[in-house]
Structure 1
């Protein structure tokens, strides 16, 4: 892996038990990174780590609840203990709720989603940035969404608000820490083929054709394609890019 983009790097990835997070973990490991998978889903997290190890990569799993500051501090410590530093952090963990009109969203549903999707990113960054300041730099890539960039008539006001918050948090933190050698960006996927999408289709939120039609290209996006963008932003190939919210949305935000 001498020519790989992440050789010798350590990476902490939240929400890597399945979907895009698992694709990111596999790609990073294939590119030479030593990966720590942090997820509340123990079965899926262990499965992702086992898959990477079987393919000759370096991966460990640590059960982590991103709404817990103590869990996130422990995940960062575990990464540093195992690999000596925290070069890259990917804050991908997130949830979705059944689509509801804004006035029908319950306070409980709102609090749960915002706690994971926005507060969880903030707590993750607090732990990661503290370590990166101590070691002299690092790279953070947050999972946002095209729903944080444009309005979508899908009954996802809570999700959109949280992802918009992630984008604002990314931009502000990038400016605060750029002189300390920390780069912080976000990726904003469109509609991606994941278990969350399958669930939305199954529950009648929309059909697969309707989901694909949200993109001007008319096609859905594969998790592996989104992972490639995370790799770019985590690698030295993007060394002068910070504070950006990069759409991977088949043209949706341009419409």
Structure 2
């Protein structure tokens, strides 16, 4: 077992399930103390329990990333409880039910925007503020391949926020690499643990070069690589992980 993150503190938002949980486990297995954040206490507790059963160190903090005070408290609690913040995986997002643009209501548009874009901006704002004063760090944001290829009709609101997130990631990366902070994003396609649409998964099997959707562990492994010294020269990159769908 490698230990690339021994002595590091990693924050994972949306850490109660799916890719967030898999990534929290991946960080912990390589020595990090992991703080998982989200809005569902039972899911967060389950993630912490899984990590501790494997001998890892984990903690949970309830937080809604759309609320600035929650984000401030989350970063502050992480630092106060564990002595620092070295890695952040800004994974929390909201995928609404599909609606064509003309049928998307203002409430749904606003909720998607506040979670997927404003929420990540708030997280980066306060993560960067701490990292800049404490020797740097690594941030990975969770975008989507839908913002790249536009192949999912009915997901215009979601795709728009994620495309904006990719642009925000690149700008933040340029602005803060001089502060010792590396910022990148991932843009996965469909992932098995979070895919609830059997007809789309069947479509992917027949149309994607890889012939299947991704496993959460595969996405987690990529996030861990981006957070590790092995990717130290990767800055401002949006890495598409969809088995060739976007080619």
Which category describes the TM-score, using the shorter chain as reference length? over 0.9
**1:77 CA drift (Å):** 1.0
Q: Is the 8 A contact 1:138 1:181 kept in 2?
A: yes
User: C-alpha separation between the residues in 2 aligned to 1:147 and 1:69?
Assistant: 27
Q: Deviations over 1:23-76 (max 9, x none)?
A: 000010001000000111111011101110111000000101000111111111
Q: Which residue of 2 aligns with 1:227?
A: 220
The answer as to 2:117 corresponding to 1:124 is: no
The answer as to 2:246 corresponding to 1:250 is: no
What secondary structure does 2:133 align onto? helix
Q: Which residue of 2 aligns with 1:215?
A: 208
User: C-alpha separation between the residues in 1 aligned to 2:208 and 2:41?
Assistant: 34
Q: Deviations over 1:185-215 (max 9, x none)?
A: 00110111123x12x44xxxx4431243452
Q: Which residue of 2 aligns with 1:60?
A: 59
Q: Unpaired runs of 5+ in structure 2? A: none
Q: Deviations over 1:140-174 (max 9, x none)?
A: 00001101212113310011001101100000000
Question: Normalized against structure 1, the TM-score is what?
Answer: 0.94
The answer as to 2:24 corresponding to 1:31 is: no
Q: Unpaired runs of 5+ in structure 1? A: none
Question: Normalized against structure 2, the TM-score is what?
Answer: 0.97
User: C-alpha separation between the residues in 1 aligned to 2:108 and 2:167?
Assistant: 22
What secondary structure does 1:135 align onto? coil
Q: Which residue of 1 aligns with 2:168?
A: 169
Within 5 Å, which residues of 2 pair with 1:1-255? Answer: 3-195=2-194, 197-198=195-196, 200-201=197-198, 206-254=199-247
User: C-alpha separation between the residues in 2 aligned to 1:73 and 1:13?
Assistant: 15
User: C-alpha separation between the residues in 1 aligned to 2:201 and 2:234?
Assistant: 34
User: C-alpha separation between the residues in 1 aligned to 2:157 and 2:68?
Assistant: 22
Q: Is the 8 A contact 1:146 1:188 kept in 2?
A: yes
User: C-alpha separation between the residues in 2 aligned to 1:150 and 1:223?
Assistant: 21
Q: Is the 8 A contact 2:51 2:57 kept in 1?
A: yes
Flag as ranges the 4+ runs of structure 1 deviating above 4 A. Answer: none
Structural RMSD (CA): 1.2
Number of residues paired by the alignment?
247
What secondary structure does 1:70 align onto? helix
What secondary structure does 2:92 align onto? coil
Q: Is the 8 A contact 1:39 1:45 kept in 2?
A: yes
